[in-house]
Amino acid sequence: MQFEKPKMNIKAVIFDLDGVLVNTDEFHYQAWKELADELGIPFDRNINERLRGVSRMESLEVILEQSAKNFTQQEKMLLTDKKNERYRALLNDLSADDVLPGVISFINNLNRINIKMAIGSSSKNAPLILEKTSLDSLFDVVIDGNQISRSKPHPEVFLKAAQQLGEKPEACLVVEDADAGVEAALRAGMRVLAVGAAASNPKVHFAASNLIEFIGQIPKNSFKSKHII
């Protein structure tokens, strides 16, 4: 792991949602897999990796690359609606128990040193997920798929979050699990902590398998207000 410079002066942290705060990425996979099986289109976990962080319609386009049939825009809308219906049914039992390891402790530590926090997610289901997991009250700003017109790797979601937090991009750290999200954060001019699937991305500033591991390796003075733990 490399540190850009000893003092990073991070004043705000922008969290991706699916795959960073909550394990909903598995439910996305299940819902897409059921749809692909129904359509007789090959779909596996390797292809699924390309769907991380990208919008619902762009995800469908990736899946349809494996199909010989052409679908009209209306058919595509019906397919994304169907996938979303199934995905939301899978989210039904979601609760605070589904928040990923280290998340609450990391947020509490950031709160203690007055670091601002935002959500920067491509998901239009973010409000439902935040409510079901009781994470909704913990963030100063939430920017999700309902408020952006260009999905990751476009930097719009993170730039909007920084703007609403009142911070410059260079003062923000983005936590991401998707290569598309890492790219979006870098294009926004922000520092990136990659967790999970994106942890092997060579472009990031920090990498860890999850937030528990990251808390144990934070360099002193990374954050504006003393150090995090």
Catalytic residues: 16, 18
Handedness of CA 185, 50, 133, 215 (dihedral sign): negative
State yes or no: residue 53 binds ligand B16 (CB under 6 A). Answer: yes
Which two three-digit tokens encode residue 139? Answer: 């963030």
Return the number of the residue (8 or 56) whose C-beta is nearest ligand B16. 56
Indicate whether 8 belongs to the interface with ligand B16 (CB under 6 A): no
Distance, CA of 32 to CA of 43 (rounded, Å): 8
| Partner interacting with residue 121 (select from ligand B16, Mg ion, none; CB below 5-8 Å by kind) | ligand B16
CB 6 within 8 A of CB 219: yes
Shortest distance (Å) from residue 122 CB to ligand B16? 4
**CA angle 98-196-65, nearest 5°?**
100
Query: Token pair 């990923």 is at which residue?
Result: 100
Applying CB under 6 A, the span of 16-24, 68-76, 93-101, 185-193 interacting with ligand B16 comes to: 16-24
User: Helix, strand, or coil here: 15?
Assistant: strand
Partners of 117 in the β-ladder: 13
> What's the rounded Cα separation, in Å, for the pair 228 and 29?
34
Number of C-beta neighbours around residue 27 at 10 A = 22
Q: What is the closest distance, in whole angstroms, from the C-beta atom of residue 17 to Mg ion in the complex?
A: 6
Closest CA to 31 of 79, 93, 64: 79
Q: Which is nearer to Mg ion, 39 or 62 (CB)?
A: 62
User: Going by C-beta distance under 8 Å and a sequence separation of 6 or more, which residues neighbour residue 74?
Assistant: none
Which of the residues 159 through 198 are near ligand B16 (CB under 6 A)?
A: 178
56 binds, among ligand B16, Mg ion, none (CB under 5 to 8 A by kind): ligand B16
CB of 70 to ligand B16, least distance (A): 22
Tell which one of 50, 66, 67, 145 touches ligand B16 (CB under 6 A).
145
* Residue 133 binds ligand B16 (CB under 6 A): no
Binder among 10, 11, 13, 18 for ligand B16 (CB under 6 A): 18
Residues that bind ligand B16 (CB under 6 A): 16-19, 28, 51-56, 59, 84, 121-125, 145, 178
Residues that bind Mg ion (CB under 5 A): 16, 18-19, 53, 177-178
